[in-house]
Protein backbone atom coordinates (compact mmCIF):
# COMPACT_ATOMS: atom_id res chain seq x y z
CA UNK A 1 0.00 0.00 0.00
CA UNK A 2 1.42 3.37 -1.03
CA UNK A 3 1.02 6.15 1.50
CA UNK A 4 -0.01 9.61 0.28
CA UNK A 5 1.23 12.49 2.41
CA UNK A 6 -0.15 15.94 1.53
CA UNK A 7 2.27 18.78 2.13
CA UNK A 8 0.58 21.62 3.96
CA UNK A 9 3.09 24.02 2.42
CA UNK A 10 0.98 23.96 -0.75
CA UNK A 11 -2.37 24.28 1.00
CA UNK A 12 -4.31 27.54 1.15
CA UNK A 13 -2.68 29.37 4.08
CA UNK A 14 -5.93 31.18 4.88
CA UNK A 15 -7.74 27.91 5.67
CA UNK A 16 -5.20 25.31 6.76
CA UNK A 17 -7.63 23.63 9.13
CA UNK A 18 -10.21 23.11 6.40
CA UNK A 19 -7.58 21.86 3.96
CA UNK A 20 -6.24 19.36 6.48
CA UNK A 21 -9.71 18.04 7.29
CA UNK A 22 -10.50 17.78 3.59
CA UNK A 23 -7.42 15.72 2.66
CA UNK A 24 -7.94 13.48 5.68
CA UNK A 25 -11.52 12.80 4.62
CA UNK A 26 -10.29 12.18 1.06
CA UNK A 27 -8.02 9.31 2.09
CA UNK A 28 -4.63 10.85 2.89
CA UNK A 29 -2.41 8.66 5.06
CA UNK A 30 -0.33 11.27 6.85
CA UNK A 31 0.31 15.00 6.90
CA UNK A 32 3.67 16.45 5.90
CA UNK A 33 4.76 19.66 7.60
CA UNK A 34 7.67 21.45 5.92
CA UNK A 35 9.45 23.33 8.70
CA UNK A 36 11.83 26.00 7.35
CA UNK A 37 13.84 28.46 9.43
CA UNK A 38 15.23 30.88 6.84
CA UNK A 39 18.76 29.52 7.37
CA UNK A 40 19.07 26.05 5.85
CA UNK A 41 16.67 27.27 3.16
CA UNK A 42 15.58 30.85 2.49
CA UNK A 43 11.90 30.43 3.31
CA UNK A 44 10.32 30.57 6.76
CA UNK A 45 7.20 28.44 7.22
CA UNK A 46 5.43 26.73 10.11
CA UNK A 47 6.31 26.85 13.78
CA UNK A 48 5.55 24.22 16.40
CA UNK A 49 2.47 26.16 17.52
CA UNK A 50 0.89 25.69 14.08
CA UNK A 51 1.48 21.94 14.18
CA UNK A 52 0.10 21.77 17.73
CA UNK A 53 -3.07 23.63 16.76
CA UNK A 54 -3.79 21.22 13.91
CA UNK A 55 -2.94 18.16 15.98
CA UNK A 56 -6.22 18.80 17.80
CA UNK A 57 -8.28 18.23 14.64
CA UNK A 58 -6.53 15.26 13.03
CA UNK A 59 -5.75 11.64 13.86
CA UNK A 60 -3.35 11.17 10.95
CA UNK A 61 0.38 10.72 11.34
CA UNK A 62 2.17 14.08 11.40
CA UNK A 63 5.62 14.20 9.78
CA UNK A 64 7.77 17.18 10.80
CA UNK A 65 10.34 17.70 8.04
CA UNK A 66 12.92 19.93 9.69
CA UNK A 67 14.70 22.02 7.04
CA UNK A 68 16.49 23.91 9.80
CA UNK A 69 19.99 24.40 11.13
CA UNK A 70 20.75 22.71 14.44
CA UNK A 71 17.65 20.49 14.47
CA UNK A 72 18.44 19.28 18.00
CA UNK A 73 17.15 22.63 19.28
CA UNK A 74 13.77 22.04 17.64
CA UNK A 75 13.07 18.34 18.13
CA UNK A 76 11.55 18.68 21.60
CA UNK A 77 9.21 21.46 20.44
CA UNK A 78 7.81 19.47 17.54
CA UNK A 79 7.49 16.31 19.61
CA UNK A 80 5.48 18.30 22.16
CA UNK A 81 3.38 19.69 19.31
CA UNK A 82 2.25 16.20 18.39
CA UNK A 83 4.58 15.16 15.58
CA UNK A 84 4.81 11.42 15.05
CA UNK A 85 8.01 11.51 13.02
CA UNK A 86 10.93 13.90 12.87
CA UNK A 87 12.88 14.05 9.60
CA UNK A 88 16.24 15.83 9.49
CA UNK A 89 18.86 16.64 6.87
CA UNK A 90 22.32 15.15 7.57
CA UNK A 91 23.97 18.45 6.58
CA UNK A 92 22.31 20.25 9.48
CA UNK A 93 23.78 18.35 12.43
CA UNK A 94 27.35 17.61 13.50
CA UNK A 95 26.37 14.30 15.10
CA UNK A 96 23.86 12.56 12.86
CA UNK A 97 23.68 9.27 14.76
CA UNK A 98 23.17 11.05 18.09
CA UNK A 99 20.41 13.28 16.70
CA UNK A 100 18.58 10.30 15.22
CA UNK A 101 19.01 8.37 18.46
CA UNK A 102 17.51 11.26 20.41
CA UNK A 103 14.42 11.14 18.19
CA UNK A 104 14.08 7.41 18.79
CA UNK A 105 14.51 7.84 22.55
CA UNK A 106 11.36 9.95 22.75
CA UNK A 107 9.39 7.28 20.90
CA UNK A 108 9.11 8.96 17.52
CA UNK A 109 9.95 7.75 14.02
CA UNK A 110 13.37 8.97 12.91
CA UNK A 111 13.89 10.11 9.35
CA UNK A 112 16.71 11.31 7.10
CA UNK A 113 16.05 13.63 4.15
CA UNK A 114 18.45 13.33 1.23
CA UNK A 115 18.82 16.39 -1.01
CA UNK A 116 19.31 15.68 -4.72
CA UNK A 117 23.11 15.91 -4.41
CA UNK A 118 23.33 14.10 -1.05
CA UNK A 119 24.85 10.63 -1.22
CA UNK A 120 23.20 7.63 0.36
CA UNK A 121 26.56 6.90 2.01
CA UNK A 122 25.46 8.89 5.07
CA UNK A 123 23.25 5.91 5.92
CA UNK A 124 26.17 3.49 6.18
CA UNK A 125 26.38 3.63 9.96
CA UNK A 126 22.90 4.69 11.01
CA UNK A 127 20.46 2.81 8.78
CA UNK A 128 19.61 0.52 11.70
CA UNK A 129 17.93 3.40 13.57
CA UNK A 130 16.29 5.11 10.60
CA UNK A 131 12.58 4.53 10.04
CA UNK A 132 12.06 6.86 7.06
CA UNK A 133 14.35 7.93 4.22
CA UNK A 134 12.95 10.96 2.44
CA UNK A 135 14.31 11.33 -1.09
CA UNK A 136 14.16 14.96 -2.14
CA UNK A 137 13.36 14.86 -5.86
CA UNK A 138 13.58 18.66 -5.95
CA UNK A 139 15.89 21.06 -4.13
CA UNK A 140 14.42 22.03 -0.75
CA UNK A 141 12.88 25.40 -0.08
CA UNK A 142 9.84 25.91 -2.31
CA UNK A 143 6.90 24.04 -3.78
CA UNK A 144 5.99 23.55 -7.42
CA UNK A 145 9.43 22.51 -8.71
CA UNK A 146 10.05 20.00 -11.50
CA UNK A 147 10.94 16.42 -10.59
CA UNK A 148 14.68 15.63 -10.90
CA UNK A 149 14.88 12.35 -12.82
CA UNK A 150 18.28 11.32 -11.43
CA UNK A 151 16.63 10.66 -8.06
CA UNK A 152 14.97 7.56 -9.46
CA UNK A 153 18.34 5.79 -9.39
CA UNK A 154 18.73 6.87 -5.76
CA UNK A 155 15.38 5.29 -4.88
CA UNK A 156 16.44 2.02 -6.54
CA UNK A 157 19.77 2.03 -4.70
CA UNK A 158 18.08 2.66 -1.36
CA UNK A 159 15.58 -0.13 -1.85
CA UNK A 160 18.45 -2.56 -2.38
CA UNK A 161 20.27 -1.70 0.84
CA UNK A 162 17.49 -0.83 3.28
CA UNK A 163 15.33 -3.27 5.22
CA UNK A 164 11.86 -3.79 3.81
CA UNK A 165 10.46 -2.19 6.95
CA UNK A 166 12.19 1.14 6.20
CA UNK A 167 9.87 3.62 4.55
CA UNK A 168 11.18 5.25 1.38
CA UNK A 169 9.32 8.49 0.81
CA UNK A 170 9.72 10.79 -2.21
CA UNK A 171 9.13 14.52 -1.92
CA UNK A 172 8.94 16.95 -4.84
CA UNK A 173 7.37 17.09 -8.28
CA UNK A 174 5.01 14.19 -7.62
CA UNK A 175 2.22 13.77 -10.18
CA UNK A 176 0.48 10.89 -12.00
CA UNK A 177 3.59 10.10 -14.04
CA UNK A 178 6.36 10.55 -11.48
CA UNK A 179 4.36 8.76 -8.78
CA UNK A 180 4.35 5.56 -10.84
CA UNK A 181 8.06 5.88 -11.61
CA UNK A 182 8.88 6.23 -7.92
CA UNK A 183 6.66 3.35 -6.86
CA UNK A 184 8.18 1.11 -9.54
CA UNK A 185 11.65 1.86 -8.13
CA UNK A 186 10.63 0.92 -4.58
CA UNK A 187 9.09 3.99 -2.96
CA UNK A 188 6.17 3.28 -0.66
CA UNK A 189 5.32 6.81 0.43
CA UNK A 190 4.79 10.00 -1.60
CA UNK A 191 4.60 13.63 -0.52
CA UNK A 192 2.26 15.60 -2.75
CA UNK A 193 1.86 19.35 -2.70
CA UNK A 194 1.09 21.49 -5.72
CA UNK A 195 -0.30 18.61 -7.78
CA UNK A 196 -2.83 17.70 -5.11
CA UNK A 197 -4.01 21.15 -4.13
CA UNK A 198 -4.14 22.57 -7.68
CA UNK A 199 -5.99 19.64 -9.27
CA UNK A 200 -8.80 19.17 -6.79
CA UNK A 201 -12.39 19.35 -8.01
CA UNK A 202 -13.94 22.55 -6.65
CA UNK A 203 -17.68 22.73 -6.05
CA UNK A 204 -19.47 25.57 -4.25
CA UNK A 205 -16.12 26.98 -3.21
CA UNK A 206 -14.89 23.77 -1.57
CA UNK A 207 -12.27 21.38 -2.91
CA UNK A 208 -12.49 17.60 -3.10
CA UNK A 209 -9.15 15.78 -3.06
CA UNK A 210 -10.33 12.17 -3.15
CA UNK A 211 -9.91 11.67 -6.90
CA UNK A 212 -6.39 13.09 -6.97
CA UNK A 213 -5.31 10.90 -4.05
CA UNK A 214 -6.88 7.86 -5.71
CA UNK A 215 -4.96 8.57 -8.92
CA UNK A 216 -1.66 8.82 -7.08
CA UNK A 217 -2.25 5.62 -5.14
CA UNK A 218 -3.13 3.73 -8.29
* Residues taking part in catalysis: 34, 171
Query: What is the C-alpha separation between 88 and 85, in angstroms, rounded?
Result: 10
Nearest alpha-carbon partner for 112 in 137, 94, 86, 138: 86
Query: What is the C-alpha separation between 75 and 73, in angstroms, rounded?
Result: 6
Bridge partner residues of 15 (DSSP): none
Q: Report the SS3 class of residue 4.
A: strand
* b (16+ CB within 10 A) / e for 46-71: bebeebbebbeebebbbbbbbbbbeb
User: For strand 109-114 and strand 132-136, is the pairing parallel, antiparallel, or unpaired?
Assistant: parallel
Radius of gyration (C-alpha) of the chain in whole angstroms: 16
- Cα 65 versus chain centre, distance: 6
Amino acid sequence: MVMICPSMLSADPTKLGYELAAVEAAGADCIHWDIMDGNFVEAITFGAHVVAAHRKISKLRFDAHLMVENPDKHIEKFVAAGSDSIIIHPETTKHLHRTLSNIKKVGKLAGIALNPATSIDCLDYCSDIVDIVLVMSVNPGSSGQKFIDSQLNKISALRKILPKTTEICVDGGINDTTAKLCIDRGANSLVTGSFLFKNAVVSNGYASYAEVIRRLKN
